[in-house]
Structure 1
């Protein structure tokens, strides 16, 4: 596995249109960022699912043709327990087959991370050796999951985020849920949104967290909390989720090394995908 890993948390935001950006800008930023990091030799870590039509699904498909057959695995795909619990054996085999040319894959369940690959239609879980598990059927797949349960979906997602944060040298974020009332698609699970939880994991570990604030979402509020944007740059809103307000408050007080301030302030305000990618790259190269 590549020693230089950068996590990405790139998603949409309910206030993006209020700030004047079409959805295609999210994809432009995602592709530009991934391309710049991979060319520099970084492996990109991502936790979640690969929904057809989703941003990460399109990114994998977009880049798979470029790197397939080159011996380069530009992605580290971390599968949370909440995702793997919704997959049948055949679906896991297909997922691994579809992504193995561009990605290392880790299953994270109940605080443990398991590498996974396939051979002769079998799932091979764990590193080579006597402890590796061969899974041949849906019943065996269910049995493996039951041996490594989790309490809640929120716990499963936190496990995955902690796993990535332990491996990555930093994280780049865009968008993110805020729990706005009357916006069903903006609701988050657990005590705080994933992007804010990720920010706290990296900041507490003294690792760089780069919020692209121009496009809204939790990343914009994180940029404000860190002093990269003025408080007046917060998008207008009514009632806010108390858990969200509490989480953002926890971000305040954390600081990166002052030498990074110019880069991080630029990343918080920049709107051009290629410029954002280069700013994030410069931050990660400095660590």
Structure 2
């Protein structure tokens, strides 16, 4: 009889980026990376497929996810032939890389992950297409429209989303990336796990939704007020209100992992 890992049928979107206010909370970048590492490691070990849309910096979260796949995913579910991770790159990001660089990255990921390069409208570009590098400067509208398109494609490819951190200044797009990914997931009625304890955009969203106390000296980034129209029931994540509030405020990684997995297992049953 084929053994199936508990989350083998789930594709989990990961929304994470640096927080502007980590130091104010007494935290450092390492805390955010550790949280992402532990959450991702447990989900991979339980058979989940991870979906991420990000850049290709050598010290970025995309590379961290790729490293996690090589170390931690158990391939017990032989019926699930999907690579463990899917990374989506919007048009301006991959256009700044050479075709040789992207080809080498795909080769390194073979059997473990998939790399999707998208055009301006979010359509997947063929691997053998001549897509970069592009010396043309990209406008704000180029970034905004392509990032929004990528996030809609991501949501269609996922069955749940985990949100933590997130820059609310110096971002590209119509609102902070974490906020847009959260908004799209909410509108799609997708299970959402919101971790506000690590600051950033996720903390602001949790505050607007009434899950944690109001944030001191809030930054009024575009679209922030719109999250006040959503409530805990809209998260649809398998957790009760007390568990949702605990997840929204905790800085204890083990507690956060336990709550996320509890909600996902409830939904999977």
TM class by shorter-chain length? Answer: 0.7 to 0.9
Distance in 2 separating the partners of 1:69 and 1:226: 38
Aligned residues: 248
Q: Which runs of 4+ in 1 moved over 6 A?
A: 68-72
Distance in 2 separating the partners of 1:285 and 1:66: 20
Deviation (angstroms), 1:224:
0.8
1:101 corresponding residue in structure 2: 111
Deviation (angstroms), 1:142:
4.9
Unaligned runs of 5+ in 1: 116-123, 126-133, 144-149, 180-186
3-state SS of 1:152 partner: helix
Alignment equivalent of 1:236, drawn from 212, 217, 222: 217
More strand by share: 1
1:35 corresponding residue in structure 2: 41
Distance in 1 separating the partners of 2:41 and 2:71: 13
Q: CA RMSD in A?
A: 2.7
Distance in 2 separating the partners of 1:229 and 1:188: 24
2:196 corresponding residue in structure 1: 213
Distance in 2 separating the partners of 1:252 and 1:68: 40
Normalization by structure 1: what TM-score?
0.77
1:130 corresponding residue in structure 2: none
1:166 is aligned to 2:159:
no
1:121 corresponding residue in structure 2: none
- Please list the CA deviations of residues 44-92 of structure 1 after superposition, one character each: whole Å capped at 9, or x if unmatched: 1000122111233123224314449986622111111111111111111
- Please list the CA deviations of residues 128-182 of structure 1 after superposition, one character each: whole Å capped at 9, or x if unmatched: xxxxxx44xxxx3459xxxxxx960121111111111112122111111112xxx
**Deviates most, 94-103 or 266-275:** 94-103
1:12 corresponding residue in structure 2: 18
1:91 is aligned to 2:74:
no
Deviation (angstroms), 1:282:
2.3
Normalization by structure 2: what TM-score?
0.82
Deviation (angstroms), 1:108:
1.9
2:182 corresponding residue in structure 1: 199
2:250 corresponding residue in structure 1: 270
Unaligned runs of 5+ in 2: 1-7, 134-139
Q: Is the 8 A contact 2:147 2:173 kept in 1?
A: no
Q: Is the 8 A contact 2:85 2:113 kept in 1?
A: yes
- Please list the CA deviations of residues 103-136 of structure 1 after superposition, one character each: whole Å capped at 9, or x if unmatched: 1222221334427xxxxxxxx63xxxxxxxx44x
Q: Which structure would you say has the larger Rg?
A: 1
